[in-house]
Structure formats: structure tokens, C-alpha cells
Structure 1
């Protein structure tokens, strides 16, 4: 395998023409790339190129074997790689002058790439987070369900929705501004949301879903204010958005959980989500230049 088996482009249409079938072949495992390319289409960037973005695919014997994307200054997101494939990608990116702050992928790929990046650049990889990727099997709504029902979030709910997205982002350590002026540019804007509300009409929890891509829908985010947790609201609203996704034609419904949170992992498994992969993010600390 050679580093030049990797091909790069800044054009989303070119990328999807080459790698779209590969991404659609494993919709659950390729959820991040499918969601991101769908978002670009919704924003109307398809066909105009995306100068800030870099897309890539590994092609051997006329067949795509892996892909990646990156939106500088964010890190690299890559599909499953062997250690050899990870090494050729690292070598190719270094030869083109790329610098990376991080990598996110399934655990084995992220680890292999982090080690390769360290070999080629001297940068020190540090684990940031471990996640579990789950796919919905048989939906089993919580029983008994908490009092209330799910309802779609509408325009009149926008202030509360943005407030809860801010609180969710703070909980998971995302540095993002979420207000009326910035909302359209955040990763939260393109989703559809549902509130779980109590019989008196008070919203107590929310869940969002990404637009369907290749029959795949990802649940994200799920949030309940701290003082309302432990009452079954998160499970109920997640089951409701999952049911709605299936009713809309989704063939794969997935979500990520923090591996360090046994409560949320157990919750989603009780309603039918099955772990299918471990995920990891590594941050890279560049080598300090030697003092002259």
C-alpha cells in the first residue's frame, strides 16, 4: 500500500461520487460521515466546493476502502482502518503539510492513527473521551412510562431549546456559543427535536435527531436538566424520537454514549439499543521545538 492510494478533495460532490456507495454500505458505522455530508447538502454547499473542508478516500484496485473528513481547525474523523492504512494516511497528510489537533474514529482505528501520527510527527496523543456506538434493535419503551407524552418542538419553544442545548454543550465540554444569532451555524440547528412534557404541559426533557441519510438516523442530543433526572424522562423521550424515526422509514437508528457513564449506557440498552462499536478521540500535543 502506498500513501498516494489516498485521494483528497475539497469538493463534496466529487467526494460523494467517489465514496458515497462505500459510506452507504455500512450506515450505522459511517453515521458521522453520512450525517456531515447530508448537512452540507442541506446548507446548499454541494456543487460549490467547501474550501474549509478536506475530504479523502482510500482507493485500491478500483474500490474505496476507507474515508475521512476534516473541517479545520477541528480534527480528523475517519472510518475503520487497519494499522497499515492508518500509517499511510498519516504519512500522506504529513507530506502535504497538514497538522492535526485530534482524531476521532472507532477505538482501534483512532489508536492506530494516533500511534502513526506520533511516529511521523512526534506529537503526543492523549485520550480525550471514549464512547460506545449503539444501534437500535427491538424498541422497548420504558414500562411504566413517566406521566406525560412526547411532542415535537416548534418555533414557540426556540428559547427553551437553545437554553437546553447550551446546558447540554456545557455538560459534555463543548465550547460553543448558542443564541439566536449563532444558532444556524451550530451543529444543533439542522436537527428535529422532541420534548417530553408532563400532564400540565411542562417540558422536562428533550431529544434530537439528525436528518436521515442512507436510511440512518442518529439520536443526538438527549438532555434532561439536572434537577429532573432519575425520573425516566430521558428514556421516554429517546424511545419516542426513536419510534418516530422508525415510522419515518429509518432502517438504522443509532446513538453514542459516554463509556464512563454506566447510567446512560444501561438506560439506552433497556429500551433496545445494542452496542456495536467503541469510539475514541485522541488530542495531539505537538513536539516542543528544541531551544537554540
Structure 2
């Protein structure tokens, strides 16, 4: 097997793009982030790592890491241990800072265990997620209200709700950068609100790829929950994305949140892949 480390998105995508686009929904994180870095400097990282591991049959594992964010990996083969060993050895040799890993379940555990042994860093399962894909909206009962784009006037609210979303989800989060990220999403017309006399729910558009787009930061404040706002909002936002020409929408959900998983399936989202996220402790 051959491992290659790239430090620019263009060279990486020249090699990995056909593979990533073949598994476009499952690899949405890696493909979407790579495309964003190809076209802009919105992701700040001292030294991004783009990774491919291949053998005579083709690509086995691909990955991207923008420190201090977690390493993201994807591969389709059942047994990727040799490829994972190569990635661990290469990153360790380069003294890379690896804060965590996000990958399909078995791959994530294999990397976490192997990196923990090599780097002598304990690991912890932080989050178990499911990737859902929607190609057609199954409309829920429509609540009152309308879908609106967030504007600069909504910056304070969006910032507060984005921070609350991170806390609710138990995410590592953006910290002090939350306001800047909220402003960028508003300025790029990527943040939406459900408005029923006042904003009652929020969600963002993220990581557009050739055929699909991700939805993220879906949040409804506690005082507006259990009224059907989340179902209506996500259904309308998903339909809006399809109407804009996307062939599918992608969502990541926390498997611990049974309510969200049920809501998304009722709307028409279908499960395609489970992923785990592990975090490493400093030695």
C-alpha cells in the first residue's frame, strides 16, 4: 500500500475526487471541506493534512484534518487495518496534532486504538452519529410560519443559538469563533430561520458538493420545542434545497437523540452510514 500526504486541497482532489464523488453522501464531510478549502480560506489551519492510501485496486482510505479539528476518514472496504496503520505511523512520524477522529464505526475504533498505543494518548468515544440522506420530502403537518434567510439583524440571535446548539449536542464547538462563523454563514446566505411571529427554529446549509448539500446546526430553543416547529422547518429547508437544484440533502444526527432521528425519518431522510467520533486526551 502507498500513503500520500498532501497539504493543498487541489492536489488531493485531483487524486481523490472521483472516489469521494462516487460515495458523495457518505464522504460529505471530507469532500465538502476539501472543496471549501479549494475555493476559499474560510477554514483556518496552520497545516492541513489531506490523506490517500491506495493499493493496486485503487483508493482504500481517504482523509482530511485541519488542526485542531478531528481527523476525518472514509473508506469502503471491510478491512482497512493496514491502511489505518500506515496513517497512524505517518501522522506520528510527522508529529501531527491529532485531537480526535471521525469515521465509520469500525474504522474509527481501529484508528483510535492504534493511535492511542502509538502516541500513548487515552481515547474516549465522544459521539455516535448516523448519516441520513433525503431525495424527496415526505411533508409533515405544516405549522404556521415561514422559512426566511437570516440577516445581519439576526446575528446576535444566531450566535446565541449556535452556541446553545453546540452545548446541547455535546460538541467540541467553535468557542470564541462562534460569532465570526455565524456572521460568515449569514453573509453567505447559508443560515435560515423558521419565523412564526418571531424566530422559533434555526438551521444552516453547509458543504455543498456536486449533487448534494449538508444541513447543520439545526436548533430549536427549549421554549419552542414539542410544537412541531423542527419537523416543519427541516422539511421546508430540505425542500428549498431540492428546489434550488440539489439532488439530495445530508444530515448527521446524534444516535442518542431519539427524537431527532425519528423526526428526520418521518420527513423522508434515510440512513446510509453510522460514524463514531473519538477524542484523545493529552499525555
Q: TM-score, normalised by structure 2?
A: 0.88
Q: Contact (CA 8 Å) 1:27, 1:252: kept in 2 or not?
A: no
Deviations 1:77-135 (A, max 9, x none): 11126222212221222233334221111111101111222333333221011111111
Kindly indicate which of the two structures has a greater share of residues assigned to helix: 2
Per mean C-alpha deviation after superposition, the further-off stretch among 13-22 and 34-43 is: 34-43
CA distance in 1, matches of 2:274, 2:105: 5
| Greater radius of gyration (CA) | 1
Per mean C-alpha deviation after superposition, the further-off stretch among 36-45 and 183-192 is: 183-192
Q: Contact (CA 8 Å) 1:194, 1:237: kept in 2 or not?
A: no
Deviations 1:137-184 (A, max 9, x none): 4311212x212222222333333222222222232232512565x337
Give SS of 1:177's match: helix
Partner of residue 258, structure 2: 262
Q: 2:53 aligns with which of 48, 55, 58?
A: 58
Q: Which runs of 5+ in 1 are unaligned?
A: none
RMSD: 2.5
CA distance in 2, matches of 1:152, 1:187: 10
Q: 1:22 aligns with which of 19, 22, 25?
A: 19
Per mean C-alpha deviation after superposition, the further-off stretch among 184-193 and 77-86 is: 184-193
Q: 2:6 aligns with which of 5, 9, 24?
A: 9
Call closer, same or farther: CA 1:196–1:83 in 2, change over 3 Å: same
CA distance in 2, matches of 1:161, 1:246: 24
Partner of residue 175, structure 2: 176
Q: Contact (CA 8 Å) 2:205, 2:215: kept in 1 or not?
A: yes
Q: Contact (CA 8 Å) 2:151, 2:187: kept in 1 or not?
A: no
Deviations 1:17-42 (A, max 9, x none): 11111111111001101221232234
Q: 2:98 aligns with which of 80, 97, 100?
A: 100
Q: 1:32 aligns with which of 29, 32, 54?
A: 29
CA distance in 2, matches of 1:147, 1:285: 46
Per mean C-alpha deviation after superposition, the further-off stretch among 202-211 and 227-236 is: 202-211
CA distance in 1, matches of 2:195, 2:185: 24
Map 1:1-150; keep pairs closer than 5 Å. 1=1, 5-44=2-41, 51-61=46-56, 63-80=58-75, 82-143=80-141, 145-150=142-147
CA distance in 2, matches of 1:210, 1:64: 26
Partner of residue 253, structure 1: 249
Per mean C-alpha deviation after superposition, the further-off stretch among 146-155 and 257-266 is: 146-155
Partner of residue 276, structure 2: 280
CA distance in 2, matches of 1:178, 1:101: 18
Map 1:200-279; keep pairs closer than 5 Å. 201-279=197-275
Q: How many residues align?
A: 278
CA distance in 1, matches of 2:114, 2:247: 35
Shift, 1:188, TM fit: 8.2
Q: TM-score, normalised by structure 1?
A: 0.86
Per mean C-alpha deviation after superposition, the further-off stretch among 107-116 and 37-46 is: 37-46
Call closer, same or farther: CA 1:28–1:159 in 2, change over 3 Å: same
